[in-house]
Amino acid sequence: MLSVFDGLRGVDFLSVFVRIVIACVCGAAVGLDRSAKNRPAGFRTHMLVCLGSTVASLTGVYLYLEANLPSDVSRISSQVISGLGFIGAGTIVVTKKMTVKGLTTAAGLWTTGIVGLAIGSGYYELGLLGAAMVLMTESLLSLLNSRIHHHPEYTVELSYREKTYLDDVLRLCKNHRMAITNLRIHTMDSAGTDLPKYTAEVEMRGNTDSKTLLRLIQQMPGVVSAVVL
């Protein structure tokens, strides 16, 4: 514990004011990175989440220390943590390519709220360190994440004459070290004839690229049309 904060661990006006200011600064610092990356929750959202959590934590501390009410200080904090999940869920979206975006922003909001709880309870060291770690995770470590090799993913759409031809396509993917992460089979109307249509998300784990994959599929017997997106 740092002795510089010893005089600010009570619930007097100066202590409350300092906690609110620190919460706003920490929330805004974390949110600025999200705003710069055009994420749904920007610096204002993060600031409000951190500020609200701090006020909730301060309220619990005040009811217990100053109002002498038989209140459970941790109960308010637990409700705040649960409620933050609903806010974070609003930042998570599923794109047209069936990929999930917004998980980092949601996790950052949730963690920023907990940072506010720590600041509101007077644990300045933990709150400031937590905010610094969140900021480092969302900004600096994103550079490291961009350097990590990810297997490319493609969407394969093809129609075929008989269902048995689908087994050949699946075998082709397996032989070329391709993982099918999502598979949908339905029908389409082509020239008045219902043909089975196959749509799949394919993860390329070998050296095969999208052009080679399309060429291999088009050369297979029974395939009417094929598109790799």
Average pLDDT over residues 188-193: 50
Minimum mean pLDDT range among 74-83, 151-160, 189-198: 189-198
**What's the DSSP call for residue 136?**
I
What's the pLDDT score for residue 146? 64
CA 66/CA 10 separation, integer angstroms:
10
- Does the domain formed by 153-228 have CATH 3.30.70.260? yes
Q: Edge-to-edge strand order for the sheet containing 178-190?
A: 178-190, 193-204, 153-160, 223-228
If one counts every other C-beta atom within 10 angstroms of the C-beta of residue 32, the result is: 17
Give burial (CB, 10 Å; 0-12/13-18/19+) of 12: exposed
Is 57 a residue whose pLDDT tops 60? Answer: yes
In the chain, % of residues over pLDDT 90: 17
In the chain, % of residues over pLDDT 70: 86
All structural domains of the chain with their residue ranges: 3-147, 153-228
pLDDT tier at 26 (50, 70, 90 boundaries)? very high
- The whole-model pTM stands at 0.66
